[in-house]
Structure 1
């Protein structure tokens, strides 16, 4: 018999709907039952593409004997962390306080009033049984001790990460930036790129900062590590060389063996990163990555309505990575005479370069000319054979059982995708990229932005009983950023007006005057045991750092000092923390770059404004905003309408003489 998850629309919750565990979704029914029966609550959190979540389900949650213990002593709640990051945020922090680490699956045991008392991540079957029995006995025999511990833990959760209002810094300087970068660079892996640790996550915002720091500070170390990291990620097994797109992370320090799930949020940001890298240095490898990744996203991750799905699973046929890996004998049978070239290029071996599984993950080690030299053939001939072989492998791979698709459409991740598509359009002047961004943005406006300018977290084509609640701060932050990007790409002020309305809504419902930052949840949301601030940048920039960027840009575009002042105060509140851990404040550090070097406000007006805009966009000027068009109402455009097309380079509300050519505008920028 199915449990209470059967009516949910989340693919992750649906995966658990036929477990013998009496799972409930988060809600009044489960929470009231815990109080009524005085039972501990198990809050078990994961997501559909999580490999170890599947493992624990198979080992424990499908086990009748385990389920009997869980059902007898606990009220068991299953949560999709991508639907309810607010709940995940609270209990993840609880587990981190208790154990010093975290991850998914996340399993947190709570008192009937939702305050946490014990937690961890993955447990083996036997360990899980013992834990269940010990905790149930602890709650039965020593309830006062459990309550006392939960009180202390909850107080720690509520009081964490609240920096408070700081005195604004009178003048940020390059010395402030150097003080952040100098300790940061000690952690670079100068051989394999990224950081000198494993596992390795892409962390796109870190390397975006490095490109901008390298350019503005003329720093060789930032330049070298950013370019090395992008090359090694693109060469590694973390990148799908056959279908495009990146896996979530590599388990080793060489970008070789990935955790094979493909997440929308990673790939949206990596499109932005490689597009920015291309404008920075023109490496054709970066262009190849962007085009292949966007092909995959359009082919496999786009809904008929124009939204983007959330993820592809790591597993297929119960085995992690089975869809993506090949033995050499399989390739020999499939490719015939082309196999030696293909296997040399992608470092395929007889016994398997993924030794634990005796199979091969395609990876590169050298550039095309070096491999062609090794093969003793012209590079053009090698690439022709390689293209033919890749096509055969792709068509064969498509006959395999595919990894599961998580077809949730989340507001925040679609905002990231709008930005990624616009960045690709700016770098490569490919109109289809902009068309896709516009289609996605119209989908967001139609289905996720409500008439009062609030946002829904989740789109469901066929609404069921599943959670479909209000958006969180990241939904606002990334959609606002995407809409600002669309304005700069099209000069259509409707996108900018929409971004401003969403920002004003967020200020009204999320801003906390006591901390000078934004809560992750709206004031109108049903309260959890703690209302958290998301400050530190992680695999996705924090919602607060993104809101600070948004307000900074909106303030410049609308000439609104209140927005800029709020962004600067947010930066000041966080600034003391950046120096100690730059990697976790990389998006904040990016805003600091703007404060030190200023923003170029570049107005392009006249009949040829769009052509000049696109020409300028392909050049690397990381600290700029673009505005203009044939008509416009922004305050900064008031005196800039001339009969012919002109470019105005302004900074600190002071404009240089208008010029007609992009090269002249770039010269004005380089002279400042």
Structure 2
């Protein structure tokens, strides 16, 4: 295609998604002043088409419509056409997705929105078949000429809707920060009404992993010992790990399952999912000691390092669902292919992974999946467990060799700060739980990459590719990176990372904060002004940036004895509390912060030459409402919470404190654990 077509303006962009459209006959512009000014000068409506590189239906619409000369001619004649990578510009995506939903249309991607020359929306939709798309273009072009005033009136109304405060829209003006066990249990109950108690997860298909929901369930069970929460957690994590949504051969999770059973994935693999799921499965392992969760963490980290990590230490955004234009082709096998590869072992393999001649996917292909544990499978088939596990490992190696000869799914090789931060925290969490030094080495490589390429002073950039970082960071970049740096400090006691987290937080207070509403805008005050400046309060596949900021403020308020941080965190949670209780599925990261406020957060300081070893001993226990800090060189500390804490008689000492009041210093993890439990038994987390 590129050989006989001239490129459009997208050829100068770095986004793989925009570059995919660089040879379309559509005269695409990137989002920016040039396109917006052209619309004003030529008095044309604007078409904004938003998607991302791993989006299957974005590819379909491109092939059916945007690559077609006839349709492109209509688009070029009547519209200023703008392509947006939603992953690079979540601010633009959020504004026009909100507009689409205000129009009564269910959101999704590709997102196609029509704007007047003032960039205000008047109509939109998602995927359109080619003939319907061509008819729509013609109708809108005619309406724009003949009914301009009516369209402008509609656009003005939508613009006004977009500028309604989130607090007003959802009735969040009430400040209610009375914390109670009853309210906490009500959050858990309301979440439980959505449980799929047969296959795990929440609600019906499609099913997304939504890790923040299950991190909350872990904390909920640790507080209440309610087995309903623990059972749902284990059911969900097991079914996801056994299902087709998890790559049984190469590790790593797809974005979502199209069915109730976690069987048929939408095969795209996103960095943000895998980073969060590493954190979730690591924490679940710490609580339950379930070996399946250990294996998922190790295999997923191997996948990310193998397929998404750059030589510079950054993590790429995603892998496409398609290869050779076919969804899932890279990952699936027919039974005949499996027999040719595995010979006499194929029947046992097919029984283990449920492969059949008819297949469970298109064209007799099999999505490999499991249904029972290795222990049960070995018993059913009269095998020693160790023998089975050796066979499974051999099968994986053989199939990985075959996959290496196939055409790989497309790689979105841009680096995004917030997604890297989620992976960085995942690595730090995995290191804390498993003590694997390679995980920490990967974390350091990534953290240093971010500091070198995505940060200048206290300011962050959103994106990086081929030596360039071009887009200002958004609140989620600052919030998630600050959270990752706090965690990296906890697992290393290197104060550099805690100071970096504080500097990022202070920058957001100066440049993102709405003093009146006491919440943070999504965009920097120094960045481009859109028709609306939004605030993000609802968790989606990534936790809401305001919920992460409120959590960071709670933690940093403890570390630095900053009452203004703590007070603001409390104020933010107070605004959300009533809605959070009613709708915890969309506000579960806020609910985890509520958990931290239900009882005082333990402040555990370890001082002395064996601080790292004692920290590792404590990591064997699930203690979710605790911050860790320490010093092992004797050089002193700049952290207020470590003031006056010394290694008594030169022996490594642990201080367990609550609300700035410390218990007697002790010298062993067992003694500290007794103080942390307060003489109470810890919740029992039985394995599956």
Q: Please tell me the TM-score bracket, short chain as reference.
A: over 0.9
Structure 1 match to 2:417: 411
Cα shift at 1:158 = 1.0
Partner SS state of residue 126, structure 1: helix
Matching residue of 2:122: 117
Give the CA deviation at 1:55.
0.5
What does the per-residue CA deviation read over 1:115-165, in whole Å, with 9 as the maximum and x for residues that have no partner? Answer: 000001111111111111111111111000001111111111110523587
Deviation at 1:183, TM superposition (A): 1.9
Match of 2:179 among 172, 176, 181: 172
2:625 corresponds to 1:617: no
Counterpart pick for 2:26 among 21, 26, 29 = 21
The equivalent of 2:673 in structure 1 is 666
Work out whether 1:68 is the aligned partner of 2:73: yes
Q: How does 1:415-454 map to 2 (within 5 A)?
A: 415-451=421-457, 453-454=458-459
Aligned counterpart, 1:213? 220
Structure-2 residue corresponding to 1:2: 7
Residues 93 and 157, structure 1, Cα contact 8 Å, conserved in 2:
yes
Find out whether 1:250 has 2:252 as its counterpart.
Answer: no
- Give the whole-Å Cα distance in 1 for the aligned partners of 2:363 and 2:209: 24
* 390-399 or 169-178, larger mean C-alpha shift: 169-178
Aligned to 1:275: 282
- Given candidates 328, 331, 343, the residue that maps to 2:335 is 328
Deviations 1:332-363 (A, max 9, x none): 00111111121111000110022x44210010
Following superposition, the deviation at residue 168 of structure 1 comes to 4.2
- Matched position secondary structure for 2:654: strand
SS of the residue corresponding to residue 364 of structure 2 reads coil
1:161 aligns with 2:161: no
SS in 2 for 1:159: coil
Conservation of the 8 A alpha-carbon contact between 1:165 and 1:515: no
Match of 1:313 among 320, 324, 337: 320
Indicate the SS of the match to 2:193.
helix
**1:303-382 counterparts in 2 under 5 A?**
303-354=310-361, 356-382=362-388
Match of 1:476 in 2: 478
**In structure 1, what is the Cα distance between the partners aligned to 2:498 and 2:451?**
13
Decide which of 51, 56, 59 is 1:54's aligned counterpart: 59
| Alignment of structure 1 residues 217-296 onto 2, 5 Å | 217-296=224-303
- In the other structure, the counterpart of 2:507 is 505
The verdict on how the C-alpha distance between 1:170 and 1:263 changes in structure 2, with shifts beyond 3 A counting, is: closer
Is it true that 1:194 corresponds to 2:194 in the alignment?
no
1:514-663 to structure 2, matched below 5 A, reads: 514-630=516-632, 631-641=636-646, 642=648, 643-663=650-670
RMSD: 1.2
Structure 1 residue 167, shift from structure 2 partner: 5.3
CA contact (8 A) 1:20 1:63 kept: yes
Q: Deviations over 1:358-377 (max 9, x none)?
A: 21001001111222233233
Q: Give the distance between the partners of 1:165 and 1:237, measured in 2 at CA.
A: 40
Check 1:588–1:117 CA distance in 2 against 1; reply closer, same or farther (3 A cut).
same
Corresponding position of 1:131: 136
Q: Which runs of 5+ in 1 are unaligned?
A: none
Q: Which moved more, 1:318-327 or 1:356-365?
A: 356-365
- More deviation in 283-292 or 650-659? 650-659
1:150 is aligned to 2:152: no
Q: How many residues align?
A: 667
Rounded to whole Å, the distance in 2 between the matches of 1:553 and 1:435 is: 25
Aligned partners of 1:314, 1:618: CA distance in 2, in Å?
A: 38
CA distance in 2 between partners of 1:616 and 1:168 (Å):
37
Deviation at 1:100, TM superposition (A): 3.8
Partner SS, residue 326 of structure 1: coil
Mapped contact 1:551–1:564 kept (Cα < 8 A): yes
Residue in 2 aligned with 1:40? 45
Partner Cα separation in structure 2 for residue 461 and residue 376 of structure 1: 54
Contact 2:276 2:422 in 1 (8 A): yes
- In the TM superposition, residue 576 of structure 1 has moved relative to its aligned partner by 1.9
Conserved 8 A contact 1:341-1:386: no
Post-superposition shift, 1:265? 0.3
CA contact (8 A) 1:3 1:22 kept: yes
Deviations 1:156-183 (A, max 9, x none): 1110523587454453011111222212
Mean Cα deviation higher: 173-182 or 220-229: 173-182
Give per-residue Cα distances to partners, 1:493-536, cap 9 Å, x unaligned.
11111111111011000000121100000111111000000110
Residue 258 of structure 1 deviates from its aligned partner by 0.2
Q: How does the TM-score come out when normalised to structure 2?
A: 0.95
Between the aligned partners of 2:138 and 2:178, the Cα distance in structure 1 is 59
Paired residue secondary structure (1:540): coil
Query: Matched residue of 1:99: which SS?
Result: coil
Q: Deviations over 1:453-490 (max 9, x none)?
A: 11011112244xxx812100001001101111111111
TM-score between both structures, scaled by the size of structure 1: 0.98
C-alpha separation in 1, matches of 2:141 and 2:490: 58
For 2:379 and 2:72, locate their aligned partners in 1 and report how far apart those are by CA, in whole Å.
60
Does the residue aligned with 1:628 lie in a helix, a strand or coil?
Answer: strand
Distance 2:277 2:371 in 1: 20
Question: Higher mean Cα deviation, 633-642 or 531-540?
Answer: 633-642
Offset of residue 398 of structure 1 = 0.9
Cα displacement (A) at 1:431:
1.0
